[in-house]
Structures are given as C-alpha cells and as structure tokens.
A and B are shown apart, each in its own frame.
Chain A
C-alpha cells in the first residue's frame, strides 16, 4: 500500500515546528510533503485566493496550500492556540484552518487538531493521539513517534540557538554555511519567524546583511530562559506569543547594549505589529546609543529598495562607531 501523504505548508509555523511534525508523521508511517520555500508563483497564488485585506504571511500561507493541495492525501493545518500557558497566537492562527477550509475549493481532508496546553492535563499529547487515530495509528506508536519528534525538535532548536538558519538546521547533517567576510557589526534582527526567515518575503534580508559584513542576531539565537526572564515595562504582556517574544528580545538587546543596531522586521497590515512596533519604538527612544530601524515587508518588498535602506543603516552605524569610540 502506498504511504499516506501528509502536506505541511511551508509558511507560518513551518519555521519553528516543521522538524517536529515531520518526524512525527514519518514515525507514524506517513510521507511528509512540504511546499518548500516561498516563490513568486506561490505568493501570486496566495494573493489571488486570499482576502485582499489579509496580511502577507497569511496570503503566503494560502499560496503554499494551493501548491500542496493536489499532491497530498491530508493537509496538516493545526489550530495552534497556546503552547506556553501564557500567551496565545494571533487570532488569524486561531481561525487558520477555517479560513482555508471555507475559501479554497477542492481541498483534501484537513487535520486541524486544536493545540492548547491549557485545555486540561496532557492536552498536547491527547491532540497528537487524535491525529494518530485519524490516520489509523494506535496510542503506543504515537507515544514513540512523539518522543522521537520531540528529540528532533530539541535538536533543531538548539541548532537555531547556535546560529544556524532554518533551511540549514532542517537538513539531516547541517553544515555551517560558508562564512562570508568577517562581520564587524552585530544587529538584532527581530520579527516573527515567518517574516525573518522567509527569504523571499523579506527579499533576502539575512543574506544581504551578511554581505554588508553584519552578523544578524534573531530571537531564536537568544536563550529561551533569558527571554522568559526578561520583562518589559507595560501594564500587560502582549497577548500573542510571537509579539511577546519580539518585545522581550527587544528589551533584552537594548538593555544589554551589546548589539550595534536593531532592525524590526515588521509585516504590512499586521494587527499585532502595530502595537509591537510602537512599543519597540518607544523603548528605542530610551536607548539612543543603539540605533533602531523598522523594515516593513509586503508583497512588493523590492530588492533594490531594501539594499539601499540596509546600506544606509549600516553606514550610519559604522560612522557613529568611529566618531564615538568609547561612549559605551
């Protein structure tokens, strides 16, 4: 019998949880198909199918689903609600399977298990077990699959922590990418994983920084414990996991003052970002020694415009470093 093929769209949660889910489904005996990296064609599909007012990452997600839907037996679009007991995901994540189901025609069955650690004991495990049983796999096998998947996940995240980027860290035997010229600047590059790591959407931001001899420090390069311990001065924590992470990282980097600049990779039309970015900007005002810039990415992010802005920013930082050598 041919293996069941499960499709995992290469967008949104993909950048953090693909290895976990891939191993999990493989262990259950399914074949995992992914739509790979975002391309012009994928994005155009998404833009055509998704609502014009939706944010780009959601449009990209639609595009990935379109690319996958005819190649797989199941689509895996979990409803990820809360994974840490404290913050939830953006409302669009909460309604993601419904948005897909009710607006795209000709879809294979969607596995949309709800993942919310607050929903009783071992809620996540029970979610995975239900996934297993919908594929006809018993609980014992699920336990084993999940254990292996979690190991893969831990390894993946520790690679990210060490500075690997998702595409390299996802390969079986990661090889450190070729070092470019030796970086002389370090920038914090903060934003949602699907904005920072989708190199089509952000027009190759990380690659460009490398060429400018800038080392990029992302939120995934910061130890989770340090991020969790970091507080920010706001009457409430931001409700959404990714925004909360970004704001914590912002405060951490500004307060340590070790980076030479901070770039916020913000998304056009993103609701949570309107608040996150403003909070970052207000924080930046208190730490003028570390320059801050917001890059807004959308479906038309142009290579040329981006390069110019990055160059100008890096130049400015270098000049400042030369003129005030020992201000910090």
Chain B
C-alpha cells in the first residue's frame, strides 16, 4: 500500500481519491493551493518555470510533508515543457532530500510496456483486469459528474438573486459527490446536486453577457491558480463557458450544435497551421468558435512565460479583429493580485455590456429562429 498524492486540479481530486482507494492505496489529499503552497514552489522551482510547475512543486512538498510517499502524475512528449515536469520535480525533490516514488503515466503509444508496468505498479489491491477497468470507469463517471456540476454553476451564478447562494449550493453539491462511491450512488448524487443548484433563486430576465475562457489547461482548471476568475465573472453577471474540462468537450454536443461545422483545429489552422504543444492552437480555435456562436468576449488565461500561449497571444489580436470579438489576456504569476484582476475584469465586462447595448440599439430585430442572448 502506497501513500499516494497527485496534482490537484479543481474538484477532480475527489474522483482520483476514490480511484486510488479502489486500487488499494491510502491517499494523502493534495491541499488546495494556497499562498504557502505557491511560496514553497517559488522557493525551490527555477525562476522562469511556469506557474503550474511551481504550484505543483509546492503541492508535492506539502503532501510529502503530510506523509505521502508516492506521487502519481502524467507525462507527455512535448513539444512543450509539461512532459518534462515530472522528471524535474523528481530531481528537485531528490536534491532537497526527499525520498519518494514517482509514478508517471506517459502516453501509452510512446512506451507501451512502460505504461503497462506503471499501471501494474499502481494496482496494489491486485484487482483483476476486469475490476481494474470497472474502477477506472467509475472514476471517470465521477469526474464527468463533477464537470457537469461545475458547468451548471457557471450558468446559475450570473443569475442568482442573492450573491453567494450559488457558491453555497455548489459547495454542498461537491460534498454530496464526495460521499458517492458506487456507480449508482454517483448518478443519484449528481441528480440531487444538480437539483440543488437549479433551486438557487434566479432572475430569469437579468441581462447577462457571455464570455468564453480559453488558455492553458492547469490555470483554467484550478481556481486557486486563476484566482477564482469564473466566480468573479459570475458575480459580475457574466455567464462563462470554459473551453476545457478534464473529461473533454467532445462528449457534449456544444460544438456539433453550431451550424458552422468547424472543429477547433480547423478554426485555428488559418492562423496557426502548426501544432505547437500546450493549448496554444486550441486557444485560437476556440476564440474563433466563440465568436461564431455569438459570444460577447473571450478571456485568455496563461501562466507567465507560457510558450504556446505567448504564440497564441501574439496572433490573437488578428483573430479578435477578424471576428470582431474583444479578447482580454491574463498572464498569471505569483505576483498577480486578485484586486488588480477584478478591476480589469470589471472594465472588460463594462465594455462588453456597452458594446452589446449599442449593437442592440442599432441593429433591427433579429431574424426569427436565430439564437441571441
């Protein structure tokens, strides 16, 4: 039995915790990244490392301090830095005198045997192949449920009548999910939690603006890394749609619903034909698609010095003017302060609202059957 910890991204830890328990491990929960986590990471990580590397290093240090002896994480084969994180973390931790086991799940096609070896190493409960598959499926189910609830909270928050209701309901929803351990219980908990969120008193006619969020996956998924930007926006009356979830967006039909029939990749190709690693190209493609779907604006979130997002950011002004959609970028680092971010967000939302009103006044009634917010 290992004492396992893993990277923390949003609420996904609940699903991973369950999975690791099922595989026969004790879990040392990665703490929610705090000021102290970041300080630790900044102290021991290279200065120009990207924010995710620093936060994760801090997280591991805290979890190891709390008794973990194994880190489970994912790898990657470039061309961006993420694939080298695990090795770097391992070396930095070893240099600091920590002895721990690092289980890195690389893309199976890179070294299939290695991948299988790691999976077997993880299987301390000696599950049969079939049981292994079942627990993974169950974990995935929980992950999906958590993603669905988060999306729902993004829709409810901008319309809540009493500020804070959604946050409270969402916190309860998450804790309901954390107690569901069987496939049936997970489905049940998800339904109950969704009902709870929908029951938040809402103002159906409040004018809202719609903003798409694009950028690098870690800062997108971990609220502590993006200073709870989605919550801040929700309170400003903005309905956000995030372009990325751990369980992926292919499964929901948001994109096929567009009559434009473009995939993210196709939308990005005129601007950036090359795959540059990270999510740089996705940021461009999603921005085009958000514009096509009539969103009012796009926000790009990226760690400071993030290579693919810098490339994307260099090209975004062109996308923004071609498609007439305002884009705001945040490069996040350990010095980014929430107050400053909120001020910039307020100004941006203000701009979007004015733009929208202007457009309403000067445009004749929309043709029937088209979708307008």
Q: Pick the residue among A95, A98, A278 that contacts B46 (CB under 8 A).
A: A278
Query: Which A residues between 200 and 236 are near B, CB-CB below 8 angstroms?
Result: 234-236
Which residues in B have their C-beta under 8 angstroms from that of A269?
48, 305
Q: Is the CB of B315 within 8 A of A98?
A: yes
**Among A79, A274, A277, residue most surrounded by chain B Cβ atoms (within 10 Å):** A274
Q: Is the CB of B79 within 8 A of A51?
A: no
Which residues in A have their C-beta under 8 angstroms from that of B308?
91, 95
Q: Is the CB of A235 within 8 A of B87?
A: yes
Which listed segment binds A: B190-198, B254-262, B272-280? B272-280
Query: Which A residues between 274 and 307 are near B, CB-CB below 8 angstroms?
Result: 274-275, 277-279, 282, 285
Q: Is the CB of B305 within 8 A of A278?
A: no
The tally of residues in A whose CB lies under 8 Å from a CB in B reads 36
Query: Which A residues between 66 and 93 are near B, CB-CB below 8 angstroms?
Result: 79, 81, 88, 90-92
1/0 contact string of B261-289 vs chain A (CB within 8 Å): 00000000001111111101000000000
Q: How far is the CA of A108 from the CA of B79 in the complex (A)?
A: 30
The tally of residues in B whose CB lies under 8 Å from a CB in A reads 44
Q: Is the CB of A271 within 8 A of B81?
A: yes
**Among A98, A235, A268, residue most surrounded by chain B Cβ atoms (within 10 Å):** A98
Q: Pick the residue among A91, A98, A102 that contacts B278 (CB under 8 A).
A: A91
**Is residue A117 contacting chain B, with contact meaning CB distance below 8 A?**
no
Q: How far is the CA of A50 from the CA of B272 in the complex (A)?
A: 17
Which residues in B have their C-beta under 8 angstroms from that of A53?
304-305, 310, 313, 331
Q: Pick the residue among B92, B306, B307, B318 that contacts A103 (CB under 8 A).
A: B318
Closest partner residue, chain A, to B312 (CB atom):
A95
Which residues of B are at the interface with A, using a C-beta cutoff of 8 A? 46-50, 53, 75, 77-81, 83-84, 86-88, 90-92, 95, 104, 271-278, 280, 304-308, 310-311, 313-315, 317-318, 331
Write 21 A-B pairs (CB below 8 A) sorted by A numbering: A53-B305, A53-B310, A91-B278, A91-B307, A92-B307, A94-B275, A95-B308, A98-B271, A102-B271, A102-B315, A102-B318, A236-B75, A239-B78, A239-B84, A270-B305, A271-B50, A271-B81, A278-B88, A279-B88, A279-B91, A282-B91
Nearest 6 CB-CB pairs, A to B? A239-B78, A95-B311, A274-B48, A102-B318, A91-B276, A271-B307
